Amino acid sequence: MAKDKTGLGAGDLFRRTEPSQPQAEQPQAEDRVKARGVGLKLSEWAELDAWAAGMGIKTHALLLFAIRDFMRRWRAGEVKTETRTLPRL
């Protein structure tokens, strides 16, 4: 068996490590960023890429703006929605 050159024993591998300096207060869980994927058609991605390039920004920045703008308008009641029941075929 190979010798352990790390200097850590088996019990040390999973021990809790404490930061050497106090950390700044962490943001609230609801304010942290969590990335999620968005499934779009290739043609839709191409259109978004073209819009972003035309504005001189990255596609990611365009997506952030679009989603946050929609959320702002939704909260303000500016987005009208309609629900209806579709007949079963």
Task: Give 10-48 pLDDT, tens digit per residue.
Answer: 566 566 666 666 666 665 667 888 888 889 999 999 999
Which pTM does this prediction carry?
Answer: 0.56
Provide the percentage of residues in the chain whose pLDDT is more than 70. Answer: 67
User: What pLDDT, on a 0 to 100 scale, did the predictor assign at position 84?
Assistant: 85
User: What pLDDT, on a 0 to 100 scale, did the predictor assign at position 19?
Assistant: 61
Is residue 70 over pLDDT 90? yes
Cα-based angle 9, 11, 16 (whole degrees, multiple of 5)? 115
String of DSSP letters for 8-63: --GGGTT-----SSPPPPPPPGGGS---------HHHHHHHHHHHHHHTS-HHHHH
Tokens (6 digits) for 64: 């952030």
